[in-house]
Amino acid sequence: MASNQQTRPGIGESAKDTTKGCVGVVMGEVGGRVQIRPIRGGTEGDAMPDNVGTPSAREELSARLAIRNANTRAGL
């Protein structure tokens, strides 16, 4: 039976907080909120489950490329 419910990314998968427009990795779920760590690293942010989706390939690539460019500029 098909479900109309959209599946959201699981722990360790790429995710997008649609309210903030940021792409990161799902780290867990606490208190009914999904914790997403930015791809660049840092502290997790909380997002309501309804606002979490799978980023498009373009969105994920763009986020990863921005980090790579910043590291290159910093000489890393």
Residue 46 in any domain: the answer is yes
Residue 37 in any domain: the answer is yes
Residue 3 in any domain: the answer is no
Residue 42 in any domain: the answer is yes
CA–centroid distance for 42 within its chain? 12
Q: Within 13 A of 39's CA, how many CA atoms are on the CB side?
A: 21
Taking only the tens place, the pLDDT of each residue in 21-74 is: 999 999 999 999 999 999 888 999 999 999 999 999 999 999 999 999 999 999
Could you give the CA distance from residue 55 to residue 64 in angstroms, rounded to a whole number? 12
Taking only the tens place, the pLDDT of each residue in 10-23 is: 999 999 999 999 99
Residue 1 in any domain: the answer is no
Residue 6 in any domain: the answer is no
Q: Which domain holds residue 48?
A: 14-73
Using pLDDT thresholds of 50, 70 and 90, give the confidence band for residue 4: very low
Residue 4 in any domain: the answer is no
